[in-house]
Structure 1
Amino acid sequence: MSATPVTSRGSRRCGVLVGGGGAVIVVIAVLVWLVWPRSAGPVVLNTGTAQHLVTVTVDRLRLGITDIDVTITDRAGVPIDHAAVQFQANQSLMGHAGQPVTAAPTRPGHFHLTDVALMMTGPWDLRLSIDTHDGGEQLTLPVWVGG
């Protein structure tokens, strides 16, 4: 028995369609990969008081658990090595207030907080209380936590 030309020709058409469909799938996959939202890098917030310059770096400003670093210098840029830093994350829209936590000093002027819970999307206030030998200061940094 021999194969009829119609079957052979039909198979070729099917192969061309699958090949073209495969190319379309690859193009769609590349486009999705290009526009897919990526996790943003750390968010750096700069603020200050009459006596200090403060930088707060949030590792991941997204829903979940994150680490936060705080850097404190005087107005001349010299690290403050004699400070105690308290931190509190508040989501005032829903009435959620985290417990105040003391940041661990890592080196002069640098403080670190681990496992800070930002468990709701929306507006948050990051509140810092800085206690130095010169007195205490309060700072509030508004941020938006995304999904």
Structure 2
Amino acid sequence: MSERAKNTAAPRKGIVLTGAAVIVLVLAAIAWFVWPRPSGSIVLKTGSPQHLVTIAIDSPRIGSTAIDITVTDRTGATKDHAAVRIQANQPLMGQAGQSIAAMATGPGHFHAASVPLMMTGPWELRLSIDEHDSVDELVVPIWVGG
């Protein structure tokens, strides 16, 4: 091999190795972002002029999930005699689930054992808080993953 061929082969080898390293790093980054992760619960907080609401969603993934709801008035006092209903709607597809009564589990605490989220994408949780003298309606956006 001539001296000139040796001098040009070394830089090409370095470029190839650098390019391969970049490709490996890009593939590793893509794998990191798309690799399935165990779904964890999420907690959302919202409110209205009458209520402060905390929503804990067991698993924001396709399928049925449990949802816990805490309702207080604006001062933080629990709502002992309220009735809470929840409905999951998928607005892009015009899909609306059944309204589900959340069972009271303690003062101001409610539990819906099985709320269906049947496809990925944006959803709305529609909450209805009925205190017998007034009804408060709230809409909470969520994202459902695969």
Q: TM-score, normalised by structure 2?
A: 0.74
Give the aligned partner of residue 107 of structure 1.
106
Structure 2 distance, partners of 1:102, 1:37, is 32
Give the aligned partner of residue 37 of structure 2.
38
Give a deviation string over 1:80-120, Cα, whole Å, max 9, x none. 10100111000111111101111100000000001111011
Matched, 1:118 2:117: yes
2:126–2:140 Cα contact (<8 Å) kept: yes
Give the aligned partner of residue 74 of structure 1.
73
Q: Which has the larger radius of gyration?
A: 1
Structure 2 distance, partners of 1:138, 1:94, is 22
Q: Classify the secondary structure of the residue corresponding to 2:52.
A: strand
2:100–2:115 Cα contact (<8 Å) kept: no
Q: TM-score, normalised by structure 1?
A: 0.74
Q: Classify the secondary structure of the residue corresponding to 1:103.
A: strand
Matched, 1:97 2:96: yes
Structure 1 distance, partners of 2:76, 2:38, is 31
Structure 1: where are the runs of 5+ without partners?
Answer: 1-30
Aligned-pair distance for 1:37? 3.2
2:69–2:111 Cα contact (<8 Å) kept: yes
Aligned-pair distance for 1:74? 1.1
Identity in percent? 59
Structure 2 distance, partners of 1:113, 1:133, is 20
Q: Which amino acid aligns with 2:57?
A: V
Structure 2: where are the runs of 5+ without partners?
Answer: 1-27
